[in-house]
Amino acid sequence: MKYLIAGLGNIGDEYAHTRHNIGFDVVSRLAADTATTMTAERYGEVGYMKFKGHIFVLLKPNTYMNLSGKAVNYWLQKEKIPVENLLVVVDDLALPFGTLRLKGKGSDGGHNGLKNINAMIGTSNYARLRFGLGNDYPQGAQIDFVLGRWSDDEKAAIGERIATAAEIVRSWGAIGLERTMTQFNNK
């Protein structure tokens, strides 16, 4: 059984470890936990992680956030992975900082990366792990907030939240969406 885990973010040093790149950081953690090598491939960095008899194709798109669907669609087709085996890790301003919410489908919630994925693969019926950023920013400063670095308080907690997000991804592949949602959502 093969799964595609797409962590969303933007390429470039100026975006590394910003709030908007939390998807990249979760995928990097998954790779590090299993000594999986990520290599530059078409439309992104890709690694092949084995976990409990399953293959997780880890993807950090290099198409920039707003064109993430191009990379996701390409790798779904290249690896012959059905949409029901896709999990997208994405930042979410509507959730308090550090909140992790796994869903089986849903709207793009105004997130341009999800909007592009929905358009490119023709559905919004795929799993997504939403990582809460909170909304502690002045009106009109949303872009600066999501592209900004973590506060000192957030830095103190971010490692543990990324580790938990990686655990959720592994659980989703091993025991499925419903059981993983029951175990982790709202905690």
Q: What angle do CA 133, 128, 173 make, to 5 degrees?
A: 125
Give the H or E element holding residue 103: strand 100-103
Could you give the angle at the alpha carbon of 17 between the alpha carbons of 15 and 18, nearest 5°? 60
- The Cα 105–Cα 144 span in angstroms is 28
Question: In whole angstroms, what is the distance from residue 153 CA to residue 150 CA?
Answer: 8
- Rounded to 10°, the helix 22-33/152-175 angle is 60
Report the catalytic residues: 20
Please give the C-alpha separations between residue 71 and each of 43, 108, 121, in angstroms, as whole numbers: 5, 17, 10
